[in-house]
């Protein structure tokens, strides 16, 4: 083998160069698919975009246009949606994970599969099914249950409260299995000796759960909370499957859907870019606050 080839091979396999070669695919994908689009979006947000490369600098005009009722409605929808996901998904996922982590529970692998399968389902397919379940007619599944219980049938997609119920129900059904898996992995990492010691000290099941399980699940809770905030504010599919075009009173208008309307349906890429930058700022700010609040930035002594 030529000496030049040996020199190149030893250079590539050296401890100095090899780590950078392994992380090169990630760096390239980060630069091409995240950093460059983000910088380009910031640049376009200060321009009026007429076409590819045809822009006119307009300063903060696009950001000033954000002070409108549609944008306020979109923020309200996403904020309420995210709030309900947090208070429903995390406790429900912890509950399922705790029950399915019991070793003597029969058929727990079957129930794990049943709860996780919705995560593999397309949001469009799931949305069609939920539209049939929550149909407007009295023969629809949910309306038929309400009528049997003595309540009037509902037009689910024509009210802010019931519309939010549709989106949150669909998201919970689809995502609870994923977060359940996160918490199961956290539960299995807790040493059994801690529970055995607590039993010797006379602790009951509730005490063990509140004083051992929940504190040790804190890192998983913080991770789940961070992901839910990102998912909640970038939600689009759960809205689109229930309101394809028109939506009375902006019931299903979300920030990402508002970006879609302005940037792609009305070809106002500059304004759409400004909405996107504000969305990124909102999500980062909320997550930094909650990470600071839960002590994720504190150094362990």
- Domain residue extents for the chain: 3-61, 68-120+171-293
Sequence-distant (≥ 6) Cβ neighbours of residue 294 within 8 angstroms: 218, 221, 222, 225
Q: Does residue 162 carry a pLDDT above 50?
A: yes
Rounded percentage of the chain residues whose pLDDT exceeds 90 = 44
Place of tokens 């504000």: 278
Place of tokens 């913080």: 222
More reliable by pLDDT, 69 or 53 = 69
Q: How confident is the model at residue 5 (pLDDT cuts 50, 70, 90)?
A: low
Q: Domain 68-120+171-293: which CATH class?
A: mainly alpha
Q: What pLDDT shows up at residue 197?
A: 87
Q: How confident is the model at residue 66 (pLDDT cuts 50, 70, 90)?
A: very high
Residue 97 and residue 112: Cα distance in Å, rounded? 9
Q: Does residue 4 carry a pLDDT above 90?
A: no
What SS3 state is found at 207?
Answer: helix
Residue 225 and residue 283: Cα distance in Å, rounded? 12
Mean pLDDT of 77-93: 95
Cα Rg, the chain, nearest whole Å: 25
pLDDT in tens, 247-290: 777 888 999 999 999 988 888 899 999 999 999 999 999 999 99
Residue 275 and residue 282: Cα distance in Å, rounded? 10
Angle between helices 141-148 and 123-133 (to 10 degrees): 30
């Amino acid at each position: 083998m030529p000496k030049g080839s040996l020199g190149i091979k030893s250079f590539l396999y050296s401890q100095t160069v090899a780590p950078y070669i392994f992380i090169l695919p990630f760096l390239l994908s980060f630069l091409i698919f995240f950093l460059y689009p983000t910088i380009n979006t910031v640049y376009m947000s200060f321009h009026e975009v007429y076409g590819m490369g045809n822009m006119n600098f307009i300063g903060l005009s696009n950001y000033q246009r954000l002070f409108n009722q549609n944008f306020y409605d979109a923020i309200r929808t996403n904020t309420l949606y995210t709030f309900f996901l947090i208070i429903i998904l995390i406790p429900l996922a912890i509950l399922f994970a705790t029950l399915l982590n019991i070793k003597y529970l029969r058929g727990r692998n079957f129930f794990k599969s049943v709860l996780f399968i919705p995560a593999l389902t397309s949001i469009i397919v799931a949305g069609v099914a939920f539209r049939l379940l929550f149909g407007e007619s009295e023969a629809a599944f949910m309306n038929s249950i309400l009528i049997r219980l003595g309540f009037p049938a509902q037009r689910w997609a024509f009210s802010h409260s019931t519309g939010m119920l549709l989106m949150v129900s669909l998201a919970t059904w689809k995502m609870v299995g994923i977060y359940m898996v996160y918490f199961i992995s956290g539960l299995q990492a807790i040493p059994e000796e801690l529970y055995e010691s607590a039993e010797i000290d006379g602790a009951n099941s509730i005490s063990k759960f509140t004083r051992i399980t929940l504190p040790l699940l804190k890192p998983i809770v913080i991770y789940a909370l961070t992901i839910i905030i990102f998912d909640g504010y970038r939600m689009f599919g759960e809205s689109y499957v229930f309101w394809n075009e028109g939506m009375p009173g902006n019931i299903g208008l979300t920030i990402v859907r508002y970006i879609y309307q302005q940037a792609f349906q009305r070809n106002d890429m500059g304004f759409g870019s400004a909405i996107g930058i504000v969305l990124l700022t909102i999500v980062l700010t909320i997550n930094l606050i909650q990470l600071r609040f839960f002590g994720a930035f504190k150094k362990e002594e």
